[in-house]
Structure 1
Amino acid sequence: MKPFKIAIVGAGPAGLAASLLLSRAGHATDIIERFDSPAPVGSALMLQPTGLTVLESLGLGPAIHAAGNRIDRLFGTETTHGRIVLDVRYSALPGGRYGLGVHRAALFDTLHDEVSARRHPIHTGLRVIGVTEEASGSYLSVEGGDRLGPYDLVIDASGARSELVASSPVAPRARNLVYGAFWATLECPDGLVDQAALTQRYDKASVMIGVLPVGSRRPQMPKQAALFWSLKVADADDVRKRGLDRWKQTIRGYWPECEPLLEQITDWDQLTLARYAHRTVRTPFSGRTVFVGDAAHSTSPQLGQGANMALLDVAALAHALAGHESIEAALLAYARARRMHVRLFQLLSAAFTPFYQSDAAALAWIRDRLVATIAKVPPAPQILAGIVSGTLIDPFNGAGLRECDWLRRAAPQPS
């Protein structure tokens, strides 16, 4: 395929990774970012074998592993009787898979440093409000009246609140989720939690508290962990009005061992309120504008797939462009390559979320009494590990990727 001039709207992880993958294939990319200085949004995330494989393909595996923290297990108990209601181990699958807890800033820094080192152009302070297709190519309409272009292809990587997908003919219906979460990234003392686990506590399905060790954003920084507290988004203002001390006391009541984290929180500004919506674009392109990451699909974070799905999207798009003679054929191939994987994990997330984040006391009762038992009976451990790792069905072939040899990567390197 001939080289194309491609506009990438959004300088988040999906947009930065798209620029790296497409520039490596010989295309010219412009990243268009609405903020004056690109920066990460949010607290922490889990990189799964899927997203890690994409980063490895870009040569960024060592950098992200140095910044993150290996996670081998997801473990949760309910607070009343201490029943185990979540116990997923990557080791249930062969091949040595694992997750990586990382600060969102660490993922952003890893990708942004590489983009900067390769001098990919990033145009900042430009809010793209529309795309117009003409015979000479696609033009971006920018707030204030400017116009950018022409481009052969526009990639919308601007996230769940994308204005481009909302105004497109393929705009999906969005269902705002009742529950969101407060997040904070804090220094994590040794021994506070299992460093190789995402640990969670539940009271029915309406209270969820979690601690995710995320390593160190930079080598000189101390080890950190993300603390998150699930709540109804509509209740967030009332929680703030009742005061920080009362909120902290509530967490102490459920999980007293969190005190070393809580004592670091002295202001509401240290907490980020995350809101979630469930939406899936049925066809992830319109004309010569293609949607990736949260612009194409978003859901609850219960399965921890968001950033990983975005990285798979851009890898699949780059692979489709490399294998077809026209953009139109490549976009159809991209849609086919991602369809089953995206729909499966959107469905699974929608199905699992009410058991862990809802007012459904009956679902919590079922979870508390059955999950731990069922999860021990084969093939349930393997299925759950496949869901968490994002590999329940093969996500790699359609993206032109070969999964990493995790056992080799984890082995000590000769000095």
Structure 2
Amino acid sequence: MKIAIAGAGIGGLALTILLRQAGRDVTLFDQFAAPAPVGSGLVIQPVGQAVLGACGVLEQVRATGNAVTRMLGHEVDNGRRVLDVWYDRVQGQRVGLALHRNALFQALWDGATQAGVTRALGAQVTAASQTTLTLSDGTAVGPFDLIVDALGAQSPLTPMQAADLPYGALWANVDWPDDTDLPKHELRQTYRKASNMLGVLPIGTPPGANRPQAAIFWSLPRAAYDTWRTAGLERWRTQASALWPDFDAFCAQITHPDQMTMARYAHGTLRTPYANGIVHIGDAAHRASPQLGQGANMALLDAYALARALDTHPVAEALPAYAAARRWHVRTYQAMSWAFTPQYQSDSQWLPVLRDRALFPLSMIPPVPRILSHLVCGTLLPAFPRGDPLR
């Protein structure tokens, strides 16, 4: 079987490794001419860590990442907690693995290299038929027995029509300050209603860094980026520090607006993530806001499910099997993301009140804390089918 994977992102690289482990003929296509990861910090949840273990790269990732045990957020105006979720408060065995996207990319890239994948770099995929890929210069490449669309949210191959979300976020990586009192094992967030959200995620020491770092983020309406730049950094730093004094030591390291990257989000899901000869994974199959930190994890789970389906079925049967294996897990987390996002990123006046006065107190009543722990770990529903070695 000859398989083409379009896109050397997290899902595409993980799938490459898993398919090469099974001895499959894989060609990986990407538009960059040399490895070039993009993005800031992210959290690999326990289910995603299991897939990285299957890929043989988990220890490399752990060496540069940082264990996160808790997500804690408070409201600016009254100082009350409005988010408090532990990964595993009782046994302490489950943690989130926070790291720079570069660290994850590098580990997966190294794994794909060691697996002996054939690479076609500097090859921008623009279209696909049942058996061939078309590149930006008009070249047709193939035939292949299967084409995998792992090109992400901007994929030209996916038929998905995603709805833009009204809020995005500015992201940056900075050094972890020596004089901060924030703990290194917690994701901390601060809110004013739902229109202001800022946070700090400790991400360990990425490749090439000489000290621990943090990913910082600032919620922003998707159309407000130019206004933010025009207003100037000093105004932003003053506003952020007034909202959360502990944020000052982090945002003071931002000296140019180009250090902050604007991320815009969308929400959508392909009902059937495959067609004749092509299958979609990751953001090409489903997109959501990052509120539950599941984007990269979903891509890893897609890659694992597709690889296992191809191990046990011919192609014609493997694609429906992959879709069935992922259907309810994806839909559940899409629904949760849709429900949670407006509570933390919107212009609503009543949703923050509901969040602070009703939902948060409810979240502290057993067994809800345990349910929320499973939610952030990615185990609210089984991520792996019955009998799978990773389950």
Distance 1:147 1:218 in 2: 37
Q: SS of 2:343's equivalent?
A: helix
1:11 aligns with 2:42: no
Shift of residue 349 of structure 1?
A: 0.4
> Could you tell which deviates more after superposition, 185-194 or 79-88?
185-194
| 2:357 alignment partner, one of 337, 344, 369 | 369
TM-score, scaled relative to structure 2: 0.97
Equivalent residues of 1:182, 1:272 under 8 A apart: yes
Equivalent residues of 1:130, 1:140 under 8 A apart: yes
The corresponding residue for 1:412 is: none
Q: Percent identity?
A: 46
Q: SS of 1:189's equivalent?
A: coil
The corresponding residue for 1:30 is: 27
Distance 1:48 1:82 in 2: 28
The corresponding residue for 1:407 is: none
TM-score, scaled relative to structure 1: 0.91
1:153 aligns with 2:156: no
The corresponding residue for 1:202 is: 191
Distance 2:233 2:2 in 1: 50
Equivalent residues of 1:86, 1:371 under 8 A apart: no
Alignment of 1:66-145 (within 5 A): 66-92=63-89, 96-133=93-130, 138-145=131-138
Equivalent residues of 1:316, 1:399 under 8 A apart: no
Distance 2:283 2:252 in 1: 34
Structure 1 pair 122/297, CA: closer, same or farther in 2 (3 Å)?
Answer: same
The corresponding residue for 1:289 is: 278
Q: SS of 2:128's equivalent?
A: strand
Code of the residue aligned with 2:320 in structure 1: it is: L
Code of the residue aligned with 1:83 in structure 2: it is: R
Alignment of 1:305-316 (within 5 A): 305-316=294-305
Shift of residue 116 of structure 1?
A: 2.2
Distance 2:70 2:161 in 1: 34
Runs of 4+ aligned structure 1 residues displaced above 6 Å come to none
Structure 2, unaligned runs of 5 or more: none
Structure 1, unaligned runs of 5 or more: 166-170, 404-415
Deviations 1:334-375 (A, max 9, x none): 010000000000001001111111111101011112233111
Shift of residue 58 of structure 1?
A: 1.6
Alignment of 1:334-353 (within 5 A): 334-353=322-341
Alignment of 1:228-307 (within 5 A): 228-307=217-296
Equivalent residues of 2:160, 2:284 under 8 A apart: no
Shift of residue 262 of structure 1?
A: 1.7
Distance 2:222 2:65 in 1: 29
Code of the residue aligned with 1:89 in structure 2: it is: W
Structure 1 pair 339/93, CA: closer, same or farther in 2 (3 Å)?
Answer: farther
Distance 2:114 2:347 in 1: 48
1:172 aligns with 2:165: no
Shift of residue 219 of structure 1?
A: 7.5
Distance 1:309 1:379 in 2: 25
Q: SS of 1:199's equivalent?
A: strand
Structure 1 pair 85/162, CA: closer, same or farther in 2 (3 Å)?
Answer: same
> Could you tell which deviates more after superposition, 211-220 or 201-210?
211-220
Deviations 1:300-357 (A, max 9, x none): 0001000000000000000000111x20101010010000000000001001111111
Distance 1:94 1:336 in 2: 33
Distance 2:208 2:155 in 1: 34
| 1:43 alignment partner, one of 28, 36, 40 | 40
Shift of residue 60 of structure 1?
A: 1.3
The corresponding residue for 1:186 is: 174
Shift of residue 264 of structure 1?
A: 1.3
Distance 1:387 1:108 in 2: 25
Shift of residue 278 of structure 1?
A: 0.2
Structure 1 pair 172/181, CA: closer, same or farther in 2 (3 Å)?
Answer: same
Code of the residue aligned with 1:313 in structure 2: it is: D
Distance 1:250 1:117 in 2: 48
Equivalent residues of 2:55, 2:111 under 8 A apart: no
Distance 2:367 2:156 in 1: 43
Alpha-carbon RMSD across the aligned residues, in angstroms, is: 1.5
The corresponding residue for 2:309 is: 320
Structure 1 pair 108/402, CA: closer, same or farther in 2 (3 Å)?
Answer: same
Structure 1 pair 93/399, CA: closer, same or farther in 2 (3 Å)?
Answer: farther
Deviations 1:279-298 (A, max 9, x none): 10000101110000000001
Distance 1:131 1:82 in 2: 53
> Could you tell which deviates more after superposition, 260-269 or 149-158?
260-269
